[in-house]
């Protein structure tokens, strides 16, 4: 009887092990920490602002293109891998550095003099130079952060997602 129980226990342990190997550890893992969107001053690596966020949440970056002076509205989302994804970029006319490129794997539409670029561009994080003219504003839910209020124009900040 003891031998039979040991065999059953051994079989269950082996089945559990193989299930773990075949199905992947994601089924058994627990996310540790809170997911946070941060604005981090560089090169000091100082956190200026952070928001508790969740996968699927959106945030927005609005600014004026510094040389062409066109207003730009970027829509970002946090994906299932805790990465930042640029989903859409809207502007009235093209300016250098905007997502208007035939190789960007994007859908581009023109309506009412406005250009809308739909794409799925993944960033683990991105570096942004705080514009002296651009007036960068990051919006998350009902919170609006004017980057020039937290960092000097011309300085660099990381926009990133981490777990704390």
Q: Dump pLDDT digits (tens) for 85-94.
A: 999 988 886 6
Torsion of CA 49, 55, 59, 61, to 10 degrees: 80
Q: In this predicted structure, what is the pLDDT of residue 16?
A: 52
- Cα–Cα distance measured from residue 83 to residue 91, given in angstroms and rounded to the nearest whole number: 24
CB atoms within 10 A of CB 60: 14
Residue pointed to by tokens 């997602």? 161
Give Cβ neighbours of residue 132 (< 8 Å, ≥ 6 apart): 66, 148, 153, 154
pLDDT in tens, 9-19: 655 454 454 44
The residue that leads in pLDDT, 129 or 97, is: 129
Whole-number mean pLDDT of the chain? 80
pLDDT of 72 over the 60 cut: yes
**Three-state SS for 23?**
helix
């Amino acid at each position: 009887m003891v031998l039979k129980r040991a065999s059953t226990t051994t079989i269950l342990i082996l089945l559990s092990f193989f299930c773990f190997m075949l199905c992947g550890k994601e089924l058994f893992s627990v996310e540790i920490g809170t997911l946070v969107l941060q604005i981090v001053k560089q090169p000091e690596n100082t956190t200026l602002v952070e928001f508790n966020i969740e996968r699927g949440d959106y945030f927005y970056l609005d600014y004026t293109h510094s040389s062409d002076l066109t207003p730009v509205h970027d829509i970002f989302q946090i994906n299932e891998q805790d990465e930042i994804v640029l989903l859409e970029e809207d502007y009235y006319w093209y300016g250098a550095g905007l997502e208007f490129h035939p190789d960007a794997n994007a859908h581009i539409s023109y309506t009412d003099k406005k250009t809308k670029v739909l794409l799925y561009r993944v960033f683990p994080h991105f570096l942004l130079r705080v514009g002296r003219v651009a007036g960068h504003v990051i919006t998350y839910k009902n919170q609006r952060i004017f980057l020039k209020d937290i960092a000097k124009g011309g300085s660099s900040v990381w926009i990133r997602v981490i777990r704390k």
